[in-house]
Structure 1
């Protein structure tokens, strides 16, 4: 799907039920990013590695019950929890979500307000809880994504594999991606990498590569100096 058409379609929406909208939004986001769409889940567990509504259960017998469901899961990449905020005065508006503004609030570039921020924090906590409900052979994914449909995505990363240290990615100034930010090719590329090769975004890996590069250059210089001295 073409980016501007996607932005127009989703930032112009008046909002609807969370589960009526989020799958369509994420399908089209995948098209914009140029990544594969989620698969259809089935009885074959191997088909549940990249799906909507991925079922997870409490591991302790005393907590057994109906499964909980991850909005979107991609094994080895991310857990995504989706929400749908509302504009003031609309049906199901979040209490105290936005202050009165002189200009209408624009979807896709919305300012932060207390109620909205709490909603996104709760989404993050849900995603963090799901990490520890994954199958025992599924490692904690490097990314958690919280999504306000038609407005923004937030990225949290933990490359340790423990799932206990998720923090804003790449930093506190840039972890929140509003839809209008998708016009920046660097932002698009970052999201695509989260979908396809998230481990490559590990800053410690990049630092290690720089260190190896410096060591190789020093070795070359050392050999050149030694050859000059011996010559």
Structure 2
């Protein structure tokens, strides 16, 4: 059986994102943020999005383009500290923000990818992070019930891929991209370099191609989208 070639035109892949969708975007600051796919989503124009990302990037960078275009109504994240524009939107009520401890956000996404309904944690007890959440006692210890997170679409950035969609990340791009690639119904990945089948060593694969639906080759795009994120 021949494995399918998942390389796709960017606009065609992003066109699957609908108004009201929940979208995960990988990245740890700049590294691993799917910059090209974010620009394509802005151009596509889907509205009323719930966005899940570790951070809000900086003004004029990454997901801030989606915030500036008014396409995001809710952001699930860990901090906004580097993005004064995002803070302004939150303070004005134009953007609903749900904050998480960074490890809890990663664990909620991991749970979503593993098919779990929730995880238990004592992090945030007695603070705003636990407000409105269910609290249970297990083995004499109090825990917050942190519901799992899944998305309609995940936007992923990889350093290398093969045509089937096996992905390899570098450095801190490994923090959220692999988890998000398992926690979404549709996965759209951009890669700096796409190799032929067999060109990516099996031991270098961080996300198996079975999780990837569409693959965008950045080195084949125009300079508008060819953003190097090392």
In which range does the TM-score fall when normalised by the shorter chain?
Answer: under 0.3
Greater relative contact order (Cα < 8 A, sep 6+) = 2
More strand by share: 2
Q: TM-score, normalised by structure 2?
A: 0.25
Q: TM-score, normalised by structure 1?
A: 0.25
